[in-house]
Structure 1
């Protein structure tokens, strides 16, 4: 099997050391396998994405010694693909409009059942308040959710090679209902959610290996289900450890002090960055 992987940052801020670790890990694994590496920009949220951040991402990655094997894949240029996938799910009666705000969801979940998880990969697990609504009732301000109760029974699996979760993992409909809840597939003024867009992009780019941070491991179960519902292939997964600060907290875009551009301006070299994040020197 050929090896095709990608790095998919959002152009909403500077890359930090955690991004460097993820991008370099994916790039190194692809090159070691004689495979291909692609850059994808998760710019589907045009209210937050900025061209200047996109340019800086490309500059930072090139400075780190990362090269991609095709033109940059920008999600904002593929909205029709996401809408078509959403329409397919809607035509099967698997979606519904949702008008709930975060406050509504918090209020509905204020008296949880004992032993039932409160949070999933997207935060508070949605209690299904709008599940009875029809798509014909959708308003422009509504989100669109997947109705897991109407999905067929599933007995799916995916393979993980990362250090924390290595092995075969099983995905079932009931497990998704309990641990994820009905996920958002599209938000107002956005053609698709992260989960829907990523499985479409991975299929379109023929990605064989998804390499990303372990904070996204739990989201893999939902993405595996969407691949099944849309008849898409399933890659192999590798979730790597996260780069954390001195307090043990994972880095975020607000950590500008650890931005790659700042290290560049201060005279650091790409090999310095590799040493900081515990990667071997480039071959």
Structure 2
């Protein structure tokens, strides 16, 4: 059960949070930081941002894991080109799949025969599976574990914030008033759970004309007003491009430099 000595948040918790701590840890694992990637709404590029963040941390020399907590809609294996891989289940735990760059990855799709098999489970089973991905997977020594959360403020988000020593959460949004309203709900949830919001990444922020280089805003929304209202900082803005839309690996040099600054902002927090 809870053990402050092995917890990634050891020394950073308030007394009230310690009293209500439900964190469970695997003594084999030593995970220093856990970054949740969250969005209030689906379709904003949350999983792609999770992959880009994890890969950029690896490029910076960190030992990194990526946990796909979107049990009913896992997309991380395909984004990484690992859809044909399977995780090994041992008596001591589950071995994550390791990408070519050394990134350790765990997703439900690594445990089923066909990636298009639907997951028709009720909430408690889904939450239990996410919990197992934290306690039973042999992550071993990691500097960062990136957790790709499903959209919304449901069972999985609640489970992750209760049973994992979350360092902080990164919110992914698009510049649209309707999405901002839903993201606000997610931010308010993290505050109620005493979890820090590191900042917001605005995806699909603009399109850059390939001919003249002009920046075109596709959505209407007052991002600055929203951030000021919530007291949250903007980590960066990502354009709508085919490089990002395709996956989180094959980025242009411009996108790579852009995301490197975003990662630096997350690390500093």
Q: TM-score, normalised by structure 2?
A: 0.37
Q: TM-score, normalised by structure 1?
A: 0.36
Larger Rg: 1
